Structures are given as C-alpha cells and as structure tokens.
Structure 1
Amino acid sequence: MKEKRLHAGQHRLRGSTIVTVFIGSLFLLVDDALALVDSSSSSSSSLVDICNDRSCYPATGNLLIGRENRLTASSTCGLVHPDRYCIVSHLEDRKKCFTCNSRQPWARYVNERSHRIENVVSDRFEMRAKKWWQSENGLQNVTVRLDLEAEFHFTHLIMTFKSFRPAAMIIERSSDFGKTWKIYRYFAYDCAESFPGVPEGMPRRHTDVICDSRYSFVAPSTGGEVVFKVLSPHIALEDPYSEEIQDLLRVTNLRINFTKLHTLGDNLLDNRPEITEKYYYAVYEMVVRGSCSCYGHASRCKPIDDDGVVLLGTTRPDMVHGRCECTHHTKGLNCEECEDFYNDLPWKPAIDRETNACKKCNCNEHANRCHFDHAVYEASGFVSGGVCDDCQHNTMGKNCEMCKPYFYRDPDRALTDPYVCRACECDLRGSLNQGICESETDPERNLISGRCHCKVHVVGDHCDACKNGYWNLDQDNPDGCTACTCNLLGTVNNEGCDKRTGECTCKRLVTGDNCDRCLLEHYGLSEQLDGCKPCDCDIGGAYDNSCDVMNGQCRCRAHFSGRRCDIPESGYYCASLDFYTYEAEEALLEGPAEVELREPYWDASQPKQWTGSGFVRVRESSVLNFAVHNIHVAMDYNVILRYESPMPSTWQNVRVDVIRPSPPDPTGPCANSLPKDDFMQQVSLKAGERVYDSVQTVCLEPNVQYHIRVTFGEYQQTGYPDRTAALLIDSLVLMPSSSAIAMFFNGCLLYTSRCPGYWGFPDCRPCQCNGHANVCDQRTGACVDCRDLTAGHHCEQCQLGYYGDPRLGVGIPCRPCPCPGGPGSGFQHADSCYLDVIGDNLKKLTNIQAILQETRQHSTEAQLLKNRADQSKVRIETVEKTAQEVIKALNDSKHFQTIAKQAILSANENFDQTNQDLKAIAETTKTAEQIVNASVELLASLREDLKKVEVEYLQIGKDVERALLVSESARQKTQDVEVKRKTLEEQYKEAEILLNEKIGDNEAARQRAEQLRQTATKLLEKTEKHLSDIEELRKIVSVNEVTMSDVENRLAGLLSTVDAATDSIQYYLKAYDHCSCPSSEDVVDLEQERKALDANELRLAAFSKTLQQLNSRLEHCTAHIEERTKFYEHCD
C-alpha cells in the first residue's frame, strides 16, 4: 500500500519539499535543492558535484545526439537521382509537387532538398520544420534503425511526422548488438487486420506486448506524433532494479519498422507512378530518450573507451554517454563494485541522502597496515573503524595524522608526504629560547606549525628576516635588527631600507637620501606604488605645475580655484584651446568658390565631422580671406586649417599669409616678429587627412584687425589647370602654441631646454647613473639610455638575461646568463638569472674563517668549556621541549600544568645562567682557567638540577598517562551516550511525525478506522464465499435446467451486486488509508450491502438447469471476479 500511494503522488516528507519527476515512466524523488544536469556536461569550477553527500543519477537525454552516423534507414528519397513527390495537403495549392535530392547532405540555403535520415536529429527548434527524412514513394516496408556503441537504458521514443503517420508499424529492441530482437509494441490503425492475434487495449504489466491504435489515425496529415514509453505510467513500479524491468530498459539497438502506408484509395484504382508520389513516410524529428544506470553513484557519464581510444571519436556537449563517472569510491561500467582498497563496507547502491560510499583505512600513506577497532567504529558514529598500525615518517595517531614530539608539520607539504614531519629549524640569530618552534597549527590557540618565537624586530616563521624598517640581523643584538633611517612611505614596497645593507631605495616619484621628499611637481608622500601623486595643475588655470607638497594645491591665476586651479569663479568662463575658430563659409570668397551647407546626421549618436553650417568648396585660384579681430592675449599661435579632400592626391600648392594693419607694438610680446614670420610659405594639404597644423607660429596681439589670406594654387603643379580639382574647407583655427605657455618650459638653464648631466630645476642636482649614462630625466632624475647592458632608475641593475652588480663601489659588470643558449640566441632555456652574492662572498668568508681559526687556537681551553656549556644547553632544550609537550597534553589539569610550568621556569633559569656564563667566557678569554673552574661548578649544579627535572618529568609522565586514560575513557563513554541519545531522539521524532501523519491525534478516529477495517475484511470474506458459491453453481448448472435468459438476468444482477460491494469496499479502504471517519449513513449502507449479499446466497441456490452452451460465459464471469479478487488482495 505504501508503494501504491507513492505512485499515486501522495508524498509528504519532513523538512523538505519533494518534487515528483517523471523520467521515462520512472518516478524519481528529487529534492528541490537538486539540480538536474545533462549527463554530458563537463566538470568545472562552477559545477558542484551533486554526488558529494547523497545519491545521484545521470539525467536522461536524446541518444540520437552525436550518433547521426549510427542511424540508418532502408529507404531514402533522392539518393540515386532526384525524385519527384507531392504533398496531400498542398493538392489545392498552385505548387503541390517538389523534388527530393539527397545525394549530398542537407545544408541551409545550399541543399535544402536533401532528406537523409540524419535530418531527424534536431539541433534547434526553429530548424525543425526546414529539414526531415523522407522515404521513397510508394514503399510500404521501410526500416529505421539505431545501432548504439554500448548498452543504454531506453525510456521512451517520440517521432514527429511530416507525412501521414504509418497505418501500421512495429518497434523492436536488441540487447546483444543486433543478434536477437524483441518486440516492444505494435501500432496499427486496424490491429486485427495488420497484426492478427496480437492483444489490443492497455497493457496490464510492463512486459505485455500489445497493439496500440491511438497513434495510427489518418489525421493529422502532417505534424502527427507517435509516442512510446517503455514503462507505462498507469502501471505501478514496485522494484525498478528487478531483472524484468532492467531487461525492458536495456538496449543496444532500436528498430522501427513501418509496414503500411495510409492512402486515399486511389492507388487501388490506378497503378501509375504519379499516384504513389504522394504516399511515403516522412519524419521531422525523432527523439530516443535514455541514459546510463549507475546505482545512485554517478551523476554523469563519459564515452565508452577501448584501450584508451574513444569509440567513434565524436562527442558533443549534449551527447549521452555510456560509462558512468563513478563516485563514492565505486567502479565498473555501472558503478556496481567498490574500488580497490575501499572495502571497509560492503557495496550498496546509494539511496536518497545515503551515499553508502565504499571505505578504506585512511593512514595518509604513512602506514601499510591497519586494524579494525569496534570501539572506534562506534565512537565515529558507525562511519569507520580503521586504526593505522606502525606509523612511519615520524608520525603518530589513529590515522598517522600527527607528528611525533620534537617534530613539526611542514606547512608546504601535504599530510601524505613522507617528509611532512620535520625537525624544528629556527634561525638562532633572530629567535628566542634557542629555536623552540610550534609543533602544530591550531587557529584557536594561534599556533602555526614550525613557527619560531622571534625577537622584537624580527619576523618570519623561522625568525630569519628583519621587520620592514629594520636591517642587519645579528645574533648578538637582543632586539635582532637595527632601525633604518628611511621613510617607509617613500621606499619601494614600503619596506624601508635594504635589510642587508641598510640603503634606501626610493619609489619612482620620491627623492632624498632617506626617501622622504616628493619629486618636483608632485605631492602627498603615501603608501601608493609610486609614492607621490603628480600635481597635475590645469594648464590654463595655474601659473605652473608646482603645488604644495602636502595637499597638492596649485598656484592659481586670478579668478580660478580648486586644487588643480581648474574651476573658474562665478561669472567667468574658460575658453577652449580652439576658441579662435573662423568658419570658411563666413570668410570673404574670391575666385571659383561656393558654400556647401550640410544638415546634421539623423543619428544623434554620430558626432559631426565639421563645425558651423557646412563647407566651402574651393578650386584652383580660389582665395579665402578670414577676418581675425577678437584676439585677447598676445602670444604665438599655430595656424590650423580643417578640411576634407575628395581628391586622391595631395594638393601641393597652398599659400597662407597673415596681413597686419600696422607693425607690432615695439614694447609688447610680438616686438620681435619679423615680416617673414607672417608668411607661412607654401603648404600642402594631404589627401585622406582632415587637419593641417602649421609648424611655424605667428605672434598676434589683442585689439588688432588681422586678415589671414589662404590662396589655393595648382593642384599638382603640372602647369595646366585642373577643373576637376576641389577641396572642402571647414574652418581656420588659431591654437595657442605650447612653446608660449609657461607650464611647458623646462627652465633649467637660460636659452636651453635641458641641464646636461643634471636634473630638478632650480636645484639642478647631478644625475646618479652609476657611470652608465650621461643624461637623466629633467623632472624625475631617471637615467636615460643606460649603457653596458644595465637598466633601472639609476642604471643600478642588469638587463633581463644578464647578471652582475653594476653599482658604483661594487663594479661587477653585467654578463650574459650562463643558461643554455644565452640572450638573443632564440633558444634560451631561461629568461633571467641573478648574482649569487653568497657564493661571491664565500672567498671573503674563508679568509675570515682563517683569522677566526687562529684566534680559536689561542683559546682552546675556553672553547672546550663552551662546548660543554653548549651540551648543557642542548640537554636543557630537550627538557624544555619535553615540558612544552607536557603542557599541551595537560590542558584539563591545572595541577599538572603548574608542575610543568615550574619545570620550564627552572630550565629557563638554568638557561639564562648559562648565557651569562657564555658571555663572561667571551669577554674574559685571558682568564680561561678561572672560567673553566667556575663552569665546572656550574655544570655540577646543572647536573643536579637536571636530575631533579628528570625525576619530576618521570612523575609528570606517569600522571599524564593516568590522566589520559581517564580522559579517554570518559570521552568514549560520553560519545557513546551522546550517539545513543541522538539516535533515540531521531527515532522518537520520526515515530511521532508518522503517527501524526497517519492517523492524527484523534483516538476516536483510530477506533473508527479499525472498525472500518474489520468491516472491509468481512466483506472480503463474503466475496470469497461468493466465489465458492459460484463454483457450486457451476456444479448445479450441470444437473439443473433453467432458461438461458433467466440465467443471464440473474447473473447480471449478481455481478452488479458484487460491483456495488466492490465500490463500497474501495470507499472504506480509502477512508481507512486517509484516516477519515464515514458517517452513520455510510455504515447503514454497508449493512444493507451485507444483507444483499446474504440474499444472493439464496438466489444462487435456485439455479438448476444444465448450461453447456453457457460454460464459456460462466468462465468469463469467473475470470472477471477472480481479477477483482486479486485487486482486493492488494488492500491491507
């Protein structure tokens, strides 16, 4: 009953909305959070594997996609020669007949008359009606066959016909690659005529082979569909994994046999070829829906391969493949077994949110053996019971996941790396406590594996680097490093000075020995990449490009404001650079010139390519006279001519003259202008360009009426006039010359534009290029054209592909990298290299070591004493490490922590004393004998302290062991109790929910439902009694004689009574299932039904005639009642 109600769509699950998805007649329960993905979709960083924490199933798809070459047809029109065909629905149209030519594949706009079988595989919906498959005219028996490369699950078939649907057809399958075939279903307009002996009607079981007439009608003449579902949706599916169901779904080949055409009958009267031209099979689209089966362990499938070669070699994104991409540590074509070494649990199919994934012992590749511990298995919630044995590589723990004491986990290595546990390695120059490191990473306790305890000005996991702003890492320095003198904000990467040399390296826009000042015309020293920001003062609104070094405020001219001086005051405006524009159509025209007006573009998004109202078309000997009378500032101006040239070549002869009414003001800026400056010489206007900008400038003054005369001479200077030559002149523009604007002056030296070898006016500081360049940038000081294969701001580094140290004072020249090939060879195996400073300094270090060796020879006794002290320090370090491990193991025991801390304090005191002794040794080398005696006494004291510590450590170890045993036992019991409590709580909640959903909280309803159940049971017993009475009736009928009509009437009354009883039983069973109480009238009706059944017993005893002629009818009646009885047997 539960399974039947499942298929009836009554799904109620706690905490989740369940959607019933019908896929190929299989009902699958899919959580609303589960996304259906195509089985051919590729894995990516954006696609989450839905198999991670639940069962998963590959989505169905069209098996034809990507397999067009595996689809064949026994007949196709136009393969040999073009065939003529007609369309029945077009008989009244002017064009009713067409040509089929399938000798070449279908191609849009090229060969749309090809109707091969691959056309039924549709890529896009809009192309569905433009191509189809079509058989030859008049052929009755035509076969379409799909041969798959592997075994698939086939769910349903959909065919959309362009022609009439077949009057008869058969769908067959093969699961052995075509060796044997089984029939799925017959389709026929007249099943009795086309397939005599084949049962008709709806199937009772999924395996029934019947004849279906629903998809074989004449209408419609086009667009009709044939739909076949392997599993009928109206038949309950009890076990989708049964062999019977799997055999139905399993296919390697599919065959559709068209056996009879629909005709209009004229083919029976006339056998001319023209009659058959309108009878053929034509299919727009065919969909073969299916998928691969993976037992809930895969959501995608991939191509079947053979020795690594993909069959057919063709895949498409929406193609359905046959090999499961197994998850949950399963393997096989259908994920039907566990992977090797994942057999901790037996293989099971994944069900809903239970993955049932196969498991193996997880030892992180540090052990080869493990054993099962049932206590561990229960403590893990029945997930895993594996415990690793003989952990190697300095590891320990249940899964070899921890490092042994005195080792730490290397953060750069995976947990499975054999070298993951390493000995502590701290730089003694910058670390405290002689290099003690943290053995594990714990964010809650702010622990990082392998991290050392650094001095004040030292950083790094190994305490091997100075902090930013510090340099010279020194073991004798109690703070580790010395402070830099650089400004952090002005140094590259905000790191201060070089951590080895202490030198400051300034950012690109910062200067000063300590990188504490911005370059000229820059401000705002900060953490940004270049250090400072350019002043960026407005060219017209500011006097120059200098600004305040703190806030960047520029020096504004009158009536300008803002940081950049780019905001005019109220009542003022700032003219643009092309303010002095004079339209050609407003000039005085002489010669063959005319104005051409132009309308703006209709499309407002396209900018105008001209100013004013249009152009002036000029020809040879034309003259344009521009009146200039509105100059406001006396200065040099460039004369710019805007034009359009429809000619293919350059207009070679154009003259520009500036006509002054009087000489310039002798006291003004134009006093030095000569008459020759007003003549612009001969200019050329190039074809294809739109602007001519004069190189020579002209000085103009305010309040003066000027005329600029532009004369257009010969087009090509051939000596002959060219009447076709023409130019379109837009306007003339007077643009202020950049050389006349103060902000564009360099200003280092008078009458020059640069300071050779210097930069930074007005200071004019020398360029710092390490002798590899003579010139630097006048504003930034960056060296220009570095020589000797050098590069950088100061030519202080080698070019890419070279190495050395070209700085002054070092003088190591740049040489090619000794990598195979070398720079410029075209086959260099490395892009760059660097100078190994350590290697170059080894020689110096060797000399220093020789000197030190002589010194050590004079202090042999002191060195021996120091070695003994070092041994003591090592032993003390061992005690400290052991004590630290004790502290970590005793987090829950304050008493043990106190003892361990005392041990550490004692060890630290001894360690501090030893350091003092060592310093005394180093300072008093001459009195080595006295220090030896003092150190011997100190060692004796240390030995006594060490013995005490060892005794305390042994006692602590025993206490730790007892505490761990007690803690582990308590923890184990607590976990067991918690697991059982959660299990009981979940079982109680589930039972409570099921109880509420099943019968509610109404006790009376439950009692009434039980009464109904008993009543229904009694009715079933009565029905069984009727069956036995019918059997007796058959015996009585053989010896009694009753008229045939009387028997039929009485039997019909009996059957109607039984049907009424059946309806009542179904009603009360439904009421019982839904826990709804019937009314008292229903109970009375039930009692009346029971009495009527009792009366039928007397009526059945009255039958007394032999009915040999009615035996068949009685047997039919008996079969009908037996069928209903089987229906009752499904009711609880």
Structure 2
Amino acid sequence: MRQPVLLLAMQAAWSCLCRATQHYPAAWGHYDVCKSQVYTDEGLTWDYMACQPEAGDMTKYLRVTLDPPNITCGDPPETYCALENPYMCNNECDANTVELAHPPELMFDFEGRNPTTFWQSTSWRKYPKPLLVNITMSWNKTIELTDDIVITFESGRPEQMVLEKSLDYGRTWQPYQFYATDCLDAFTMDPKTVQDLTQHTLLDIICTEDYSRGYVWKYDKTVRFEIKDRFALFAGPQLHNMASLYGQLDTTKNLRDFFTITDLRIRLLRPATGATMVDENNLSRYFYAISDIKVQGRCKCNLHANSCVFDKEKLTCECEHNTTGPDCGRCKKNYQGRAWNSGSYLPIPKGTANICVPSIVGPVIRQNVSSLGVANRNQECKCDPFGSESDRCNGTGFCKCKEGATGPKCTECQPGYLWNNGCKSRVCDELLRCQNGGVCHNNLRCQCPAAFTGLLCEKPRCEGEAAGCGDPDSGQAALRLPPTPLLLLPLLLAPAWAAPL
C-alpha cells in the first residue's frame, strides 16, 4: 500500500481547474502547486510552477545501523550507576526483557511515555580504551533539511562528538559540526558558535563547546545542529525575509548542497564524565543514552514534485513537469527536446518550472523541421568542444552534451560536476573538504598527508602498529550497511585526524 509521506496542501484547488490558483510560499518555502489551468486569450492552458513537497518528520523513513553492532547494552545484562551519584545504581539493562531493553529504535519512537524510552550503550568497562560508537541514519533518498537536527540524551551529553553527512549514500562522509568540552584539545580547532558565522562563512565547519560543558544532565540534555540560525543569516532573525534565502538557494549551489543529505552519522567519541578524572572503580557510571533524534526535512525533487511517497520501504518523488527518476532528475522518454534542468525558486512567488518539452517526433513535425535539421547538420552551433559531443547541432537543433554537462551550448555543469576543460566529477571544494590535513587540488582531488589515504583523505594508512587499525573491538570497523570508508580513530589520535578545516 502506498503511504503518502507529504500531503498536497492545496488539493481543493484541483477540484476546479478553471479557478485561478494563488501560489504563495509558506514559511519554509513550501511551493505546493506544480501546475494549474488558467484562462488566457488563447483559451484554457496550463500554468507551470516550481513545486516541492511539504517538510515533515524524516525519522519515520530512515534505517539506523550501529557500529560496533554489539554496542547496545543488555547482552549480557548490566547494572548502571548515575553519573551524578555513584551510589545510585538502580538502572538495569537486559536485552531479553522488554521492560529493561534499550534497542536503537527507541531513539525514534514517539515521546511522551512515562518513563522515557531510550537507546543505551554498554558502559565504559574497557577504559582507558575509548568508548566509540557510530550511529548511522540512512534514507536511500536525497532529502533537504529544513529545521534544526536535535539529539536528546538521556545520559549526560558526550564530551566529544562529531555529526557527519553523506551526499552519496554513505560512500563518503563530510563533517557537519564538531562538539567538545575543549575543542582545541579534542580536535585542534578554536571553539566557535553559530552566532560567529556570517553570510560569507556560512559553510564553515565549526567546533562548538556550547553542548558539552559542565554537569549537563541537570539542565539541557539536547545537542543541536542549528539550521534555522544559518537560514537566519539570509532571512533575518524571525525568518521573515524568505525571498532573500530563496534567492541564495537558487543561485548558490553549494548553499543548497549544504542542507542536502542522503545519510547522517553521529560519532560518539567520549561520554560525559562530570569531572576531569574518570572514576576507574565505578565505570558503570559512563555510557551513552539517547531518548530522541529529530530530523525535519523534505524529499529533494529538484522543484519538480509537490508530493513524495513511501512505497516498498523507499521514498520516491511523484514527479511533474514531464520529469522522472527518484529525485525527478531527468526528462521522461520523448520529452527530451532540451536538456533537463531543476526548477527555480525565482521569480517569487511562482518560481520557474523548467519543464521538459517533447522531443521532435512524428511525420508531420519532421516535415516541418526537415530543412532545419539539414541546416543544423551542416552548420556549427558553437557547441562547446569540451562539454559537447560535437560542435554541430544534432537533428533537433540542440547540442549533445557529454556526461555532467548541460546548457544550450554544453558550457554548464550539472550538480556534482565542476568545469575543468569539460565537466569533471567534483571531489572537494569549500563544502566537500579534504580531511585529516589534506589539501584540495583544483577541486578535483585531495592531496593527502603521508599517514592518510582515500578520496577525501579519510582513511588512515594503518601501517605498522598505527592506532590499532582493524581491531573489531575498537569501534573503528566500517559499517556494513551502508559502507563507510571513514574509520573511527582512538581518542589519543583525535588531534591528528581532526585538523582545522
């Protein structure tokens, strides 16, 4: 059964096609109508508009995996003590008893229960070996974030943590934000807050100490990735000037990509200790516990769909504008009369649909354009020699672009490509940065330091006795589903791999 994920907000308008449709974006840019019929001097015709699904709770549609897979408490059963009181030891975890089990799905259940439900890790019984956990959330779909990511801890908030994102279904990862009680010590980064950012530094990856200091279990238990505050840099503190934000999202590709993900990963590196010294005689006080994770967003449909459905465990855009694909990322068959392009928020309030137009087919049409086709085959259309297959038009009067290229003359690059004598697959830029001290070369590849390798310098070379690489108990093993090339390193090496970006 197909379950609608995001409802069409103006279904009533469709019941009367002759009614003029007002199209105003809601607070978060909900362009809710893809097309409407209007009367013109020529009669009844379609008016096409940019459109996108309504934002909603995306945690309903994710798959969660943990690494190490046996990091959840309860097997064997274990008793925990309170961080603030080492003599209060009445928290029991037993995976074989429903009332005492704390599986990963409890991070995403509906809150309001009494007592609160939560996922919990094993205790730090192998101290001083780091207690490392990867929590990976996968959608198998490109989504756009529209609100703060909020993680609520039942335990004390971790003293060191990294939030990461993937744009390619977990093949590569980039940091979103670092969290620590001491950013300089943990990640060799100066501490900052989102309030320190400007329009020009919006894409900077920062380390914040706001969510890690002090006896945090007595006060706020949440850790945030502040998306609204970043939106406010363009739209104002109350987000009243959304037109400014739409304009920036429309014209600055890296900005839109910044809020786009296929996967999220929480890397827990050091639990709350509540003191400078760890009590080695009572290690059951130290663990991670998360009661809730909030991820608000929408399916990315390239402004070619106003609804998204969850069918057979998969999210898919219901594409309009003669487009098709999971993200409406290509033109339908027989609608490839011009190169596909995403919709545009501008001009406000309708945007630009950039619909796919029919290919030139049929005997009557061919007869009308046959002379044009002959002329095109014999004239240069000034198609770019690097971006197109030929400098001459094809039979329909358009340049035939190479992979990654688009535009009338094949001089523009599709998302994920960068112009370098043609459109080359982009690896690194101000958003997709090289890690571990690597240097981005021509936006196309990372030059890695000697100790690291990988597309983004994300992998330690693991030569000799380097950092216990490959130890399955170290928490460094890559996730099985989906594959995660970025390995966890022990805390003692954190300054080496977390150099300032």
Give the alignment's TM-score, normalised by structure 1. Answer: 0.25
**How many angstroms apart in 1 are the aligned matches of 2:75 and 2:284?**
17
The structure in which a higher percent of residues are helix is 1
**How many angstroms apart in 1 are the aligned matches of 2:306 and 2:267?**
34
**Change beyond 3 A, Cα 1:301–1:251:** same
Cα deviation code 1:433-488 (max 9, x no counterpart):
xxxxxxxxxxxxxxxxxxxxxxxxxxxxxxxxxxxxxxxxxxxxxxxxxxxxxxxx
Q: CA deviation at 1:182?
A: 1.5
Q: CA deviation at 1:256?
A: 1.2
Q: Counterpart in 2 of 1:200?
A: 192
Q: Aligned ranges for residues 338-417 of structure 1 at < 5 Å?
A: 338-343=331-336, 347=340, 349=343, 351=345, 352-353=349-350, 354-360=352-358, 368-370=363-365
Q: CA deviation at 1:212?
A: 1.3
Q: CA deviation at 1:292?
A: 2.6
One-letter amino acid of the structure 2 residue matched with residue 135 of structure 1: S
Q: 1:218 aligns with which of 209, 214, 220?
A: 214
**Secondary structure at 1:65 match in 2:** helix
Q: Counterpart in 2 of 1:295?
A: 302
Q: Counterpart in 2 of 1:256?
A: 266
Structure with higher Rg: it is 1
**Change beyond 3 A, Cα 1:296–1:35:** closer
Q: Counterpart in 2 of 1:888?
A: none
Q: CA deviation at 1:324?
A: 1.9
Q: Counterpart in 2 of 1:145?
A: 136
Q: 1:120 aligns with which of 107, 111, 121?
A: 107
Q: Counterpart in 2 of 1:71?
A: 65
**Secondary structure at 2:268 match in 1:** strand
Q: CA deviation at 1:266?
A: 8.4
Q: Is 1:130 aligned to residue 116 of structure 2?
A: yes
**How many angstroms apart in 2 are the aligned matches of 1:152 and 1:29?**
14
**How many angstroms apart in 2 are the aligned matches of 1:16 and 1:150?**
30
One-letter amino acid of the structure 2 residue matched with residue 277 of structure 1: S
One-letter amino acid of the structure 2 residue matched with residue 21 of structure 1: A
User: Is contact 1:191–1:213 with CA below 8 Å preserved after alignment?
Assistant: yes
**How many angstroms apart in 1 are the aligned matches of 2:80 and 2:359?**
71
**Secondary structure at 1:166 match in 2:** coil
**Change beyond 3 A, Cα 1:371–1:266:** closer
Cα deviation code 1:145-199 (max 9, x no counterpart):
2244344334542111111111221112233343332211111222223222345
Q: Is 1:86 aligned to residue 86 of structure 2?
A: no
Cα deviation code 1:199-230 (max 9, x no counterpart):
52423323201111222233441661111145
**How many angstroms apart in 2 are the aligned matches of 1:129 and 1:373?**
74
Q: Counterpart in 1 of 2:182?
A: 190
**Secondary structure at 2:80 match in 1:** strand
Q: Counterpart in 1 of 2:382?
A: none
User: Is contact 1:78–1:103 with CA below 8 Å preserved after alignment?
Assistant: no
Cα deviation code 1:51-82 (max 9, x no counterpart):
985322023333332434x3325364434211
Q: Counterpart in 1 of 2:163?
A: 171
**Change beyond 3 A, Cα 1:59–1:262:** same
User: Is contact 1:218–1:262 with CA below 8 Å preserved after alignment?
Assistant: no
Q: Counterpart in 2 of 1:56?
A: 51
**Secondary structure at 2:365 match in 1:** strand
**Secondary structure at 2:306 match in 1:** coil
**Change beyond 3 A, Cα 1:373–1:90:** farther
**How many angstroms apart in 2 are the aligned matches of 1:177 and 1:373?**
46
User: Is contact 2:66–2:133 with CA below 8 Å preserved after alignment?
Assistant: no
Q: Is 1:281 aligned to residue 314 of structure 2?
A: no
**How many angstroms apart in 1 are the aligned matches of 2:113 and 2:184?**
38
**How many angstroms apart in 1 are the aligned matches of 2:33 and 2:101?**
39
User: Is contact 2:169–2:262 with CA below 8 Å preserved after alignment?
Assistant: yes
One-letter amino acid of the structure 2 residue matched with residue 314 of structure 1: E
Unaligned runs of 5+ in 1: 1-14, 23-27, 37-50, 105-110, 304-309, 316-320, 375-1132
Cα deviation code 1:723-781 (max 9, x no counterpart):
xxxxxxxxxxxxxxxxxxxxxxxxxxxxxxxxxxxxxxxxxxxxxxxxxxxxxxxxxxx
Q: CA deviation at 1:89?
A: 6.1
One-letter amino acid of the structure 2 residue matched with residue 253 of structure 1: D
User: Is contact 1:112–1:131 with CA below 8 Å preserved after alignment?
Assistant: no
**Change beyond 3 A, Cα 1:90–1:65:** farther
Q: CA deviation at 1:18?
A: 5.4
**How many angstroms apart in 1 are the aligned matches of 2:197 and 2:79?**
42
Q: CA deviation at 1:264?
A: 3.4
Counting matched residue pairs gives 308
User: Is contact 2:83–2:273 with CA below 8 Å preserved after alignment?
Assistant: no
One-letter amino acid of the structure 2 residue matched with residue 178 of structure 1: G
**Change beyond 3 A, Cα 1:358–1:173:** closer
User: Is contact 2:86–2:285 with CA below 8 Å preserved after alignment?
Assistant: no
One-letter amino acid of the structure 2 residue matched with residue 280 of structure 1: F
**Change beyond 3 A, Cα 1:132–1:261:** same
User: Is contact 1:230–1:248 with CA below 8 Å preserved after alignment?
Assistant: no
**How many angstroms apart in 2 are the aligned matches of 1:337 and 1:177?**
19
**How many angstroms apart in 1 are the aligned matches of 2:151 and 2:114?**
12
**Change beyond 3 A, Cα 1:64–1:17:** closer
User: Is contact 1:168–1:216 with CA below 8 Å preserved after alignment?
Assistant: yes
- Cα RMSD, aligned residues only: 3.8
Q: Aligned ranges for residues 475-554 of structure 1 at < 5 Å?
A: none
**How many angstroms apart in 2 are the aligned matches of 1:355 and 1:158?**
33
One-letter amino acid of the structure 2 residue matched with residue 271 of structure 1: E
Unaligned runs of 5+ in 2: 1-20, 35-45, 125-129, 235-244, 370-501
Q: Counterpart in 1 of 2:329?
A: 336
**How many angstroms apart in 2 are the aligned matches of 1:372 and 1:357?**
25
Q: CA deviation at 1:341?
A: 2.9
Q: CA deviation at 1:258?
A: 1.7
Q: Counterpart in 2 of 1:585?
A: none
**Change beyond 3 A, Cα 1:67–1:361:** closer
Q: Counterpart in 1 of 2:224?
A: 227
Q: Counterpart in 2 of 1:555?
A: none
**How many angstroms apart in 1 are the aligned matches of 2:335 and 2:188?**
56
**How many angstroms apart in 1 are the aligned matches of 2:273 and 2:285?**
9
**Secondary structure at 1:253 match in 2:** strand
**Secondary structure at 2:140 match in 1:** strand
**How many angstroms apart in 2 are the aligned matches of 1:331 and 1:127?**
42
Q: Percent of counterpart pairs with the same letter?
A: 23
**Change beyond 3 A, Cα 1:193–1:347:** closer
One-letter amino acid of the structure 1 residue matched with residue 132 of structure 2: N
Q: CA deviation at 1:267?
A: 5.1
**Change beyond 3 A, Cα 1:361–1:287:** same
Cα deviation code 1:1096-1116 (max 9, x no counterpart):
xxxxxxxxxxxxxxxxxxxxx
One-letter amino acid of the structure 2 residue matched with residue 114 of structure 1: A
User: Is contact 1:297–1:327 with CA below 8 Å preserved after alignment?
Assistant: yes
Q: 2:152 aligns with which of 160, 163, 171?
A: 160
One-letter amino acid of the structure 2 residue matched with residue 132 of structure 1: F
Q: Aligned ranges for residues 937-976 of structure 1 at < 5 Å?
A: none
**How many angstroms apart in 2 are the aligned matches of 1:128 and 1:362?**
64
**Secondary structure at 2:172 match in 1:** coil
Q: CA deviation at 1:262?
A: 2.4
Q: 1:21 aligns with which of 19, 22, 27?
A: 27
Q: CA deviation at 1:136?
A: 1.5
**How many angstroms apart in 2 are the aligned matches of 1:137 and 1:180?**
30
Q: CA deviation at 1:120?
A: 0.4
Q: Aligned ranges for residues 640-651 of structure 1 at < 5 Å?
A: none
Cα deviation code 1:969-1001 (max 9, x no counterpart):
xxxxxxxxxxxxxxxxxxxxxxxxxxxxxxxxx
**Change beyond 3 A, Cα 1:361–1:71:** closer
User: Is contact 2:111–2:292 with CA below 8 Å preserved after alignment?
Assistant: no
Cα deviation code 1:10-30 (max 9, x no counterpart):
xxxxx97956524xxxxx265
**How many angstroms apart in 1 are the aligned matches of 2:117 and 2:102?**
7
**How many angstroms apart in 1 are the aligned matches of 2:59 and 2:203?**
25
